[in-house]
Amino acid sequence: MLNLMKYEIRGSTKFISVVVITLTLLSLFTYLTADVDTVGRTIFLTTLGFIGGNVAILFYFVSSFSKEVYEDRGYLTLTLPVSGNSIVLSKLIVTIFWYAVYTLIQLIFVYFILNKYSNLIEQPILTTILRDVNKFLLTPEFIIVALLGILDSIIFVMSVYFSIAISKAALGVKKIGKFISFIVFIAITAATSYIDYLLITYLPLNITINSEALQKNLTFNNVNLDMSTMSEALSINIPSLIFTLILFVAFLFTTGYILERKIDL
C-alpha cells in the first residue's frame, strides 16, 4: 500500500502545487493589503483561500477516482497485485495528507497576517491568540470534537467513492453511470442522515462534552465566548457514533470488493 500512496502523491503533486501557488498569491495579496480599515476583507480572503483550496483538493481526488473507475487509466491501478481495500485506503490517506499540508501552509500565512495586525495596532494580538488557542487545542473536549469532524469528512469521501464504484459495476456506461453515481450519493446521504436522526431521537444514549471547559480556554483578549447554545452540538450520541463507524467499514470493504471483483476493465 505504501507504493500506492507514493504513486498517488506523485500523481497529485502537480495539481496540489497549482492550488498552493494560488493560495500563496492570494495570501500575499491579503498580507500586503491588510490594514486596520480592511479587516473584513482580510477575513473574507483568508476564509476564501481555506475553503476554496479544500474544495479543490476534494474535487481533484473524487475526479481522479472516477477516472480510474470509468476510463482506461484504471487498468494500471486495478490490475496491480493489491487488494481493492488497499487502493481505497491509499487514496483516502493521501487525500488526508494533502489536506493536512494545505492547512499547515494556510496557518503559516495566517500567522504572518496576524503578526502584521499586531504591529499595526501595537497590541499583542498574535501572542494572545496563540496562547489562548494553544490552551483550547489541548483540551480533551476539542480533540474529541475535531476527531468527530474528521470522521464525518472521511465518511463523506467514502460515500462518494462507493457511489462511483457501485454505479460503474451496475451500469458500466460512462455518461449514464456518472449521473447515476450522483443520484446514488444523494440517496445514500439522505438515507444515512435519516437513520442517524432516528438513532439520536429514539436511542438517546449520549455523552455530553463539557462545553464549559472549551469556553474557559477560549478567552480572546479576555472576552469569554458564550458557548451555551452549543450544548446539543457537543453531545455525542453513542448509537449514532457506532453507526458512523459501521458505515466507514461497510463503505471501505464494499468499495474495495467492487474494485477488485466487479469492475470490468
CA distance 141 to 136: 9
Helix ranges, 38-139 (H): 39-70, 74-78, 84-121, 125-137
Q: Cell triple for residue 54?
A: 479544500
CA distance 15 to 68: 17
- Report yes or no: 113 and 34 within 8 Å, Cβ to Cβ: yes
Q: What is the mean pLDDT of residues 12-24?
A: 93
Q: What is the mean pLDDT of residues 134-153?
A: 79
Global confidence as pTM? 0.82
Residue with more model confidence, 183 or 234: 183
- Report yes or no: 190 and 208 within 8 Å, Cβ to Cβ: no
Q: Tell me the pLDDT band of 69, cut-offs 50, 70 and 90.
A: confident
Q: Which residues neighbour 178 within 8 Å (Cβ) at sequence distance 6 or greater?
A: 66, 70, 164, 167
